[in-house]
Chain A
Amino acid sequence: MTGAPILEVQNLTRAYRKGGLFGGSSFKAVDDVSFTLPAEPQVFSIVGESGSGKTTIARMILRLVEPSEGSIRLLGRPLSGKSSDRIDNTEFRRLVQPIFQNPFEAFSAYLPVEFYLRRTALNLKIARTDAQAVEATDLALKSVGLSYERIRGKYIRQFSGGELQRISVARALIPKPKLIVADEPVSMVDASLRMSIVNLFRQIVEEQGVSFIYITHDLSTAYYLSDQVSIMNTGRVVESGAPTRILDNPTQAYTRELMAAIPTVGQRWGELAEIDRKFGYADTRQKSASTHQTINHNAQCDRRKP
């Protein structure tokens, strides 16, 4: 099946019932969404606010939620239904792996994290013996800049959020998947580490040929990372295309609103000047810069290793 698109999503809809036992109404969390990830590895971003339906799409692709209507095909084969070429569970989990928002909830606090990585290798039949599992785990960890030796025997609380999210990425890489679905993978990570994770995704796309579905509310990392972006609002895709096309020249009012809400450095929101005027507040930013100081400690703060 070479050349088949990684993922084809067609007219995907997920409806939930709202209200009483009889009557009530139906609410569409995802409403008639279609998109395709071509065979060449790439990053496809789905951007939207809370409640826009982006996580529901991720859950349907991960087979955690059944679509109400529409279909999803992975490498040309259906994800659900009775067809004979339907992908079975183990095979599916080897091809598609998730990364979730909060790495501290992704692993249990009561077992060392390397246990989960070894289990992934064994469960997905990537390894048959413990030694092979360790080897597969080590390989995956090395591709995110860690190693089995470094994480061995440690529990989640002994890692920083950024490190643990790297470990979740490594876990997802163990079966050498075709597609990783990452749902808000950096929204819990500090700004300074966020870009290193985002860069890691790009590196994985290029070096290991894995495609990503990157789900986020953060337009700026989506712009930075993606080959294609879809903007969602209330269950529908309002705009999609190459990130430079969308963000340099948005055609939809909603996209513009989303962009205007980003706290960008270098461009202050117009509403703030209005508030200042309303309350007669002089802009203190214009005051003298004499109070600006750097504090040099005897023990110089060494920058964290890059």
Chain B
Amino acid sequence: MITVDKVTVGYGTTGFIKAVDEVSLTINDNEILGIAGESGSGKSTLMRAVYGDFSTGLRIQSGTVTGRFEDARTGKVIEAPSSQFAPLWWDQLSYIPQGSMSVLNPLMKIEAQVVDGLPARERQGGSRALRQRIAEFLAGFGLEETVLDAYPHQLSGGMRQRVLVAIAAFVNPRLILADEPTTALDVVVQKKILLMMVEIQRRQRNSLVLVSHDLGVHYQITDRLVIMYQGRIVEQGPTAEVFANPQHDYTKNLIASLPRLHGKRAVEVVGAPA
């Protein structure tokens, strides 16, 4: 699906600030790939480079990101570097950005925003038939048709996020990139959204990349896990393996720092940063 080969990505037009440092990685067909790491580890930058959104001053300094997409209808295979992905957005690949709570336009009803992003072929049957199809798709995730007539502020944060996930999946893209899709949501809503994302992936047999700093989330839903630290990948492997047998010190640290619900509760006071 996507091959990332020794890519170094950063920002800046005059200088260059490196955010991702010689990273290599493969995104396979039909899998959920998790990317973990703390803020500033380069996970969002890597996502943007894979999505091919260079509008924010993002620059690939060296290495390549290439994608191979097969059009389900025509069977035509498209192979291209990520800088040429823009025509494929919302068709072959969709992106659920960080803080998507606020990416919806407050002045437009949900329906108009959904339709706005769809490729032309989806609109061929006329707007009523399209609405019908969108409503049916939403119903599959327990969302009522009335959300289409709502303005974003009329929906709760969790509801908005579910709508966004549904929009991203509606055109049956081959790759969905989700950047911290459940951060700042409470656990009950988070669980609903994660289950919805897994169901979409299993149904559509596409690839889902999930960026999160929450290792618990990765343990639950990802098939493979990549750990990033300071712009580099320090460890990757099948999720269960990484948890059962972490190799890198940083991964061990991350796993050890997870609070547990049962058992030992004794508080060890960790020293403050020097």
Which A residues form the contact surface with B (CB < 8 A)?
49-51, 144-146, 160-161, 163, 166, 187-188, 190-196, 198-200, 202-203, 217-221, 223-225, 243-244, 247-248, 257-266, 268-269, 271-272, 275-276, 278-279, 281, 284-285, 287, 289, 291-295, 297, 301, 303, 305-306
A131 to chain B, nearest CB (A): 25
Does B56 lie at the interface of the complex (its beta carbon under 8 Å from any beta carbon of A)? Answer: no
A247 and B38 in contact (CB under 8 A), knowing A203-B269, A262-B216? Answer: no
- Given A190-B213, A192-B254; A262-B232 close (CB under 8 Å): no
The 6 closest A-B pairs by CB, nearest first: A145-B272, A292-B237, A263-B216, A294-B247, A279-B202, A217-B186
* Inter-subunit contact B202/A281 (CB<8 Å): yes
Q: Do B195 and A199 have beta carbons less than 8 Å apart? A: no
Mark out the residues of chain B between 213 and 245 whose CB falls within 8 Å of any chain A CB in the assembled complex.
213-217, 219-221, 223-224, 229-230, 232-243, 245
Task: Give me the interface of B with A, judged by CB distance under 8 Å.
Answer: 31, 38-40, 156-158, 184-191, 194-195, 198-199, 202-203, 213-217, 219-221, 223-224, 229-230, 232-243, 245, 247-250, 253-255, 257-262, 265, 267-274
Partner of B255, one of A221, A244, A265, A276: A265
Sample (27) of A-B pairs whose CB atoms are under 8 Å apart: A145-B273, A163-B273, A187-B184, A191-B214, A192-B253, A195-B259, A198-B259, A202-B269, A203-B269, A218-B187, A219-B261, A220-B260, A247-B261, A263-B216, A264-B216, A265-B216, A269-B220, A272-B195, A276-B202, A281-B202, A284-B31, A287-B238, A293-B236, A293-B247, A294-B247, A301-B248, A305-B274
Q: How far is the CB of B208 from chain A (nearest CB, A)?
A: 13
Residues from chain A with a CB closer than 8 A to the CB of B194 are: 263
Q: Please tell me if the beta carbons of A301 and B250 are within 8 angstroms of each other in the complex.
A: yes
**Known contacts A265-B243, A271-B195: does B213 contact A191 (CB below 8 Å)?**
yes
A293→B221 contact, CB < 8 A: no
* CB-based contact A49/B238 at 8 Å: no
CA–CA, A203 and B271, complex, Å = 10
Inter-subunit contact A220/B261 (CB<8 Å): yes
| Chain A residues with CB below 8 A from B261, complex form | 219-220, 223, 247, 259, 262, 264
Apart from A198-B259, A268-B220, 15 more pairs, CB < 8 Å: A50-B189, A146-B272, A190-B39, A202-B267, A219-B261, A220-B259, A220-B261, A258-B187, A260-B191, A263-B217, A269-B220, A272-B195, A278-B202, A279-B203, A306-B273
Residues from chain B with a CB closer than 8 A to the CB of A244 are 265
Report whether B237 and A191 are in contact in the complex, using a CB–CB cutoff of 8 Å: no
CB-based contact B265/A224 at 8 Å: yes
Partner of B232, one of A194, A289, A301: A301
How many angstroms from the CA of A187 to the CA of B229 in the assembled complex? Answer: 21
